[in-house]
Structure 1
Amino acid sequence: MHDIDDSVVPGSVYLVNVQEKTAVVHAGNDSAIVLSPTPSNDINDPLNWSRGRKLLQIVCVMIYTSSIGIGTTVLYSVLQPISNDTGIPLATLNAGTGYILGWGALINQPFALTFGKRGIYLISVLGNTAICLLTPYIKTEGQWIASKIVQGYLCTPVESLCEVSIADVFFAHERGTYIGIYTLFLFGSNYFAPLIAGFIYDGQGWHWVMYWAAIINFGSLIVLFFFMEETNFVRNTSEATEAVHLSTKPDAEKDDKESTTSSPVSSGDLTGLPKTYSQRLALFGGRYASNKLLITMAYRPVILLRFPVIFWAGFQYGTCLVWYNVLNATCSLILSEPPYNFRASFVGLTYLGPLIGMFLGTFYSGWVGDRFAVRYARRTRGIREPEHRLWLMVVSLLLCPASLILWGVGASKGISWVGLVFGMGIISCSTGIGSSLSISYALDSYKDLSGEVMIAVILVRNTLSFAIGYGITPWLHMGYQNTFISAGFVGLAITMTFLIVIKWGKSWRIASRKRYWGYVADGTLGH
């Protein structure tokens, strides 16, 4: 990797060329947008792929996300029938996956970044297929917990690797859109699974709920084998080349003219031979890091939690997951009891509300967020700060407490089911906004260590999720009204912390710059 100047601010990049600097590469469809990271001249660089090839890659990532999401959550709407059939207590059925999901990334992610992501994805979906097929044959508590721990380990890429794959092929001004799409499919598949599971159970029994999940995963495996490509690439550059120096002055920027091209890298300027289709099908396409770095990547995510930006992103993301878990834990309880008395299939249909809410939330935080970031950068001399995007959380600041109170108080007072489904949709919308913006903020701040940053974020997120799994039952003993009024105020307080990050986030990034660029210099995976 080229020499790195550790005086630059991580995450602060020139996104809009408002001062007509010539030493930059621009987006082909907008001569003012600066491409960050700067693509290499290698024809195999994922940043140089055609638009269609990039979109095919993102489709594959979304297929993977959906299949893993369905395979790991489809059984939650049929836990009671499973308990009745096997004699395994509900408490045990709910346990298992959470013991290792997320923490397993400390092993999986370094291997993916060292040997290739494609092989890890394929092994993950193959393993999920096998677990779904074997689940109907489980008879004991030990077998159940063991299967869920294995499944949790195999499925960790869905939480931390997909975001890195997106960052591999898309530039800073477009990443938010695809992070939003990823968030939609991640949570959307979790909402869709119980929706279809209720109908499958009514018609074929709970065994076929798992068989259909296995069929979906196996179909995804076939598609991914033939169309998903490796996106690891040693670029030998970093975002330090686009980052903003602490000493940068507006007047100096105007005089910084260099006689280099200001046009995007065209196909005629690319060097090297493109990979053949058979080379693209390789399970592991090469080696991208040393053994020393492989070991380092296994523990450095824990060290990165010292960075306030990363810890906050994980905490905010984890809080969003807490509200998602609380909704799932109470939905069936509320709607299957008087005055609603919904059957399992009808309870599943109510998840259409969260699906719509998640779509609206991720569209707002993703597509709208990218355009907001570009417009904001035009007002700040072309400089994009990761904190700019966080202003969009104002909407979540309003929706989060309102939706939680509507859900809990509404259930306590027995309001119309329409009001409850509306509340579910708003909770989901707020969850999508907070999750997508948290991920984008972490990646925008420390892009060159995106793989390790996402592990650190997921560690915080899943630790919160794991804790709420134990705390939700005693919390609900307060009654739906008191529980969700308190949840609403907790959500309001936590969401408001984005104002603190907007104020102090850049100072935190400045304070971490020497340590961060030192970590980047140690690595061989340039982005």
Structure 2
Amino acid sequence: MFEGEPTKTEASVIESFQTPNDAKDSNGILLIPQPTNDPEDPLNWPSWRKRIVLVQVSLISFLSLFSASLIVPTFVPLGKYLHKDLTDVAYVVSIFTAIISISPLVWNPISNVYGRRPVYIVNLIATVAFSAASAASHDYGTLLAMRALCGLLGTAALGLGPATVCDLFFAHERGRYMGVYTLSFITGGHIAPIIGGYIEKNLTWRWCFYVPAIIAAALLISFILTVPETLYSRTLDQSTKSQPGSVQKILMLRRAAPSNRLRPIDFLRPFQMLLYPSVVVPTVYYATSFGYGTILFILTSTNIFSQLYHLQPYQVGVLLGIPLTVGSVIGECCAGYLSDLVSERRAIHRGGKRIPEDRFLAIYPGAILLPLGVAIEGVCITHKTHWIGPAMGVAIASFGLQIVTTIIYAYIADCYKPQSAEIGAVLNFTRQIFSFCVGFYAIQTGQMIGFQDAWIIWACINVATFLPVIILVWKGERWRRALGTPKFHNDL
């Protein structure tokens, strides 16, 4: 069986629900996955409806890292209020970063049975509650506890978003629309420092938690009114099932996948996916890319920029946030659409056969620019250049990270679409755990051996984790054939 063709399970599904002629894209290539003849199949929804769902889910993912990083520029006044030094205050972000690694591991298996919609709604409610509780905290311990609970119960979108994109879009569209999702959650952490500095300047640090609570409340109302369930079982004849009424849909009184049952092993499925090279190799590379391509800057900027350039909190936020945001936006212009284009052209040249590794042809600019940007910032900090030097390094690294992020998410979804929820959870877990660890050694190592040497070491580590990706381009298809496909969720 050629890579990219449906598995036996998928083939039986297509046979049961296929349209009179196998559906193809505008270039005459077979659509993956094949849509059914059911109008409730999300793949059959009109484009405007799909995009409304995508925008809502992207905004929720944006809010996750936005709420984590909004407090960063206020570390100095927050430390004075809590009577803690900057290292201890950074744990307010670090604890959130660590806990959100666990959140999708809990919520994604639930979403595969009860649906995406109820999980998003519960998470938005939790974000409202615990963000407001964080703002009302009066001591260090309470604040850490509220941030941990917010991270655990309010950030499922960071792992569930890729599965939702796969629910809605075909393989040849995933790069473009996965790019919208990845740009949203990454820029959430980038825009936050800009806004957070001005919030602290004109209000107080507490509003860095009240603002996410207000945004989450607005998104909750909008989501309930506009976003239907996207989980769709392709092994059940939808026409034979009783259709719930509008009240049932709003109150979530049904399981989205009635044939499935939630079992303890479902919470371990994400780690099972690490047995596949097409998952574990990009996951490790992406963890170092995200940790050094954005979290390194976020966790060290207040300490470094305030001492080196004597900046106020709001100025630190601007110097950090603008390069990160501009780099990400420009990077996405070269990521999702380009990877879709490369994949489609290669498939046409191959006579209609899609191979996921084709997407990696578009990743090389990102793989080069990300470590280059990290090294540039370290050199500029050590030599105390004008602030534009570190800003350029941050922007270049952010440009590269956005390309890497979109292509890796799209690639792994192409390889194992039915397991996209598990893949999203494991990507989020490794990314956040690695990022959490960065906060413990980045500043200390820079002070010990010099920021130039430390930042160059981080860049070299990132390059080293990219080398197995190059091998994957050559061997990935052969390895997937040898290992076969996972035996769970093949109905999705």
Name the TM-score, length of structure 2 as normaliser.
0.89
Bigger drift between 271-280 and 58-67 goes to 271-280
Q: Which residue in the other structure is 1:25 paired with?
A: 23
Gap change, CA 1:106 and 1:206, over 3 Å in 2 = same
Q: Secondary structure, in 3 states, of the residue corresponding to 1:438?
A: helix
CA distance in 2 between partners of 1:345 and 1:141 (Å): 23
Residue 271 of structure 1: how far off its partner (Å): 10
Q: Which residue in the other structure is 1:192 paired with?
A: 191
Q: Which residue in the other structure is 1:59 paired with?
A: 55
Q: Tell me whether 1:222 sits opposite 2:218 in the alignment.
A: no
Q: Secondary structure, in 3 states, of the residue corresponding to 1:127?
A: helix
Equivalent position amino acid for 1:127 in 2: A
Q: Tell me whether 1:179 sits opposite 2:149 in the alignment.
A: no
Gap change, CA 1:463 and 1:70, over 3 Å in 2 = closer
Q: Is the 2:64–2:158 contact (alpha carbons within 8 Å) kept by the matching residues of 1? A: no
CA distance in 1 between partners of 2:318 and 2:189 (Å): 13
Residue 282 of structure 1: how far off its partner (Å): 4.1
Residue 43 of structure 1: how far off its partner (Å): 1.2
Residue 120 of structure 1: how far off its partner (Å): 0.8
Q: Is the 1:41–1:271 contact (alpha carbons within 8 Å) kept by the matching residues of 2? A: no
Q: Is the 2:58–2:184 contact (alpha carbons within 8 Å) kept by the matching residues of 1? A: yes
Gap change, CA 1:69 and 1:91, over 3 Å in 2 = closer
Equivalent of 2:456, from 485, 489, 492? 485
Residue 503 of structure 1: how far off its partner (Å): 1.1
Q: Is the 2:232–2:256 contact (alpha carbons within 8 Å) kept by the matching residues of 1? A: no
Q: Is the 1:12–1:385 contact (alpha carbons within 8 Å) kept by the matching residues of 2? A: no
Unaligned 5+ residue runs, structure 1?
1-7, 15-21, 238-269
Q: Which residue in the other structure is 2:420 paired with?
A: 450
CA distance in 2 between partners of 1:291 and 1:409 (Å): 54
Q: Write out per-residue CA displacement over residues 220-266 of structure 1, whole angstroms, 9 at most, x where no aligned residue.
A: 111111112210111129xxxxxxxxxxxxxxxxxxxxxxxxxxxxx
Q: Secondary structure, in 3 states, of the residue corresponding to 2:207?
A: helix
Gap change, CA 1:359 and 1:275, over 3 Å in 2 = farther
Bigger drift between 307-316 and 63-72 goes to 63-72
Q: Which residue in the other structure is 1:469 paired with?
A: 439
Q: Is the 2:75–2:90 contact (alpha carbons within 8 Å) kept by the matching residues of 1? A: no
Q: Tell me whether 1:47 sits opposite 2:47 in the alignment.
A: no
Q: Secondary structure, in 3 states, of the residue corresponding to 1:34?
A: coil
Q: Is the 1:188–1:355 contact (alpha carbons within 8 Å) kept by the matching residues of 2? A: yes
CA distance in 2 between partners of 1:52 and 1:287 (Å): 23
Equivalent position amino acid for 1:32 in 2: G
Equivalent of 1:301, from 270, 274, 291? 270
Equivalent of 2:477, from 488, 495, 506? 506
Q: Which residue in the other structure is 1:232 paired with?
A: 231
Residue 403 of structure 1: how far off its partner (Å): 1.0
CA distance in 2 between partners of 1:417 and 1:137 (Å): 35
Equivalent position amino acid for 2:22 in 1: V
Equivalent of 2:310, from 335, 341, 345? 341
Residue 287 of structure 1: how far off its partner (Å): 4.0
Q: Which residue in the other structure is 2:372 paired with?
A: 402
Equivalent position amino acid for 1:175 in 2: R
Equivalent position amino acid for 1:415 in 2: T
Q: Which residue in the other structure is 1:240 paired with?
A: none
Residue 69 of structure 1: how far off its partner (Å): 2.6
Equivalent position amino acid for 1:315 in 2: V
Gap change, CA 1:171 and 1:271, over 3 Å in 2 = farther
Gap change, CA 1:417 and 1:288, over 3 Å in 2 = same
Residue 442 of structure 1: how far off its partner (Å): 1.1
Q: Is the 1:173–1:370 contact (alpha carbons within 8 Å) kept by the matching residues of 2? A: yes
Equivalent position amino acid for 1:362 in 2: E
Residue 55 of structure 1: how far off its partner (Å): 0.9
Gap change, CA 1:177 and 1:279, over 3 Å in 2 = farther
Gap change, CA 1:77 and 1:12, over 3 Å in 2 = farther
Residue 23 of structure 1: how far off its partner (Å): 5.8
CA distance in 2 between partners of 1:9 and 1:461 (Å): 32
The share of aligned pairs that are identical, in percent, is 25
Q: Is the 2:115–2:257 contact (alpha carbons within 8 Å) kept by the matching residues of 1? A: yes
Q: Which residue in the other structure is 1:497 paired with?
A: 468
Residue 176 of structure 1: how far off its partner (Å): 0.9
Q: Tell me whether 1:366 sits opposite 2:365 in the alignment.
A: no
Residue 13 of structure 1: how far off its partner (Å): 6.6
More helix by share: 2
Q: Which residue in the other structure is 2:65 paired with?
A: 69
Q: Is the 1:44–1:275 contact (alpha carbons within 8 Å) kept by the matching residues of 2? A: no
Q: Is the 1:67–1:125 contact (alpha carbons within 8 Å) kept by the matching residues of 2? A: no
Q: Is the 1:43–1:274 contact (alpha carbons within 8 Å) kept by the matching residues of 2? A: no
CA distance in 2 between partners of 1:373 and 1:284 (Å): 41
Equivalent of 2:348, from 368, 373, 378? 378
Gap change, CA 1:311 and 1:342, over 3 Å in 2 = same
CA distance in 2 between partners of 1:281 and 1:110 (Å): 21
Residue 64 of structure 1: how far off its partner (Å): 1.2
Number of aligned residues:
472
Q: Secondary structure, in 3 states, of the residue corresponding to 1:341?
A: coil
Bigger drift between 457-466 and 390-399 goes to 457-466
Q: Which residue in the other structure is 1:206 paired with?
A: 205
Equivalent of 2:429, from 456, 459, 463? 459
Gap change, CA 1:36 and 1:294, over 3 Å in 2 = same
Q: Which residue in the other structure is 1:4 paired with?
A: none
Q: Tell me whether 1:139 sits opposite 2:104 in the alignment.
A: no
Gap change, CA 1:81 and 1:12, over 3 Å in 2 = farther
Q: Is the 1:132–1:213 contact (alpha carbons within 8 Å) kept by the matching residues of 2? A: yes
CA distance in 2 between partners of 1:393 and 1:361 (Å): 11
Return the structure number with greater relative CO, CA threshold 8 A, min gap 6: 1
Q: Secondary structure, in 3 states, of the residue corresponding to 2:28?
A: strand
Residue 375 of structure 1: how far off its partner (Å): 0.7
Q: Which residue in the other structure is 2:358 paired with?
A: 388
Equivalent position amino acid for 2:188 in 1: S
Equivalent position amino acid for 2:23 in 1: V
Residue 502 of structure 1: how far off its partner (Å): 0.2
Q: Is the 1:82–1:206 contact (alpha carbons within 8 Å) kept by the matching residues of 2? A: yes
CA distance in 1 between partners of 2:253 and 2:159 (Å): 19
Q: Which residue in the other structure is 2:82 paired with?
A: 86
CA distance in 2 between partners of 1:208 and 1:460 (Å): 30
Residue 284 of structure 1: how far off its partner (Å): 5.4
Q: Is the 2:370–2:398 contact (alpha carbons within 8 Å) kept by the matching residues of 1? A: no
Q: Is the 1:317–1:461 contact (alpha carbons within 8 Å) kept by the matching residues of 2? A: yes
Q: Which residue in the other structure is 2:161 paired with?
A: 162
Q: Is the 1:105–1:455 contact (alpha carbons within 8 Å) kept by the matching residues of 2? A: yes
Equivalent position amino acid for 2:468 in 1: T
Equivalent position amino acid for 2:288 in 1: T
CA distance in 1 between partners of 2:177 and 2:160 (Å): 14
Unaligned 5+ residue runs, structure 2?
8-19
Q: Is the 2:131–2:146 contact (alpha carbons within 8 Å) kept by the matching residues of 1? A: no
| Cα-Cα RMSD | 2.4
Q: Secondary structure, in 3 states, of the residue corresponding to 1:223?
A: helix
Residue 136 of structure 1: how far off its partner (Å): 2.6
Q: Which residue in the other structure is 1:18 paired with?
A: none
* Larger CA Rg, structure 1 vs 2: 1
Q: Which residue in the other structure is 1:312 paired with?
A: 281
Q: Which residue in the other structure is 2:10 paired with?
A: none
Q: Is the 2:329–2:399 contact (alpha carbons within 8 Å) kept by the matching residues of 1? A: yes
CA distance in 2 between partners of 1:192 and 1:121 (Å): 23
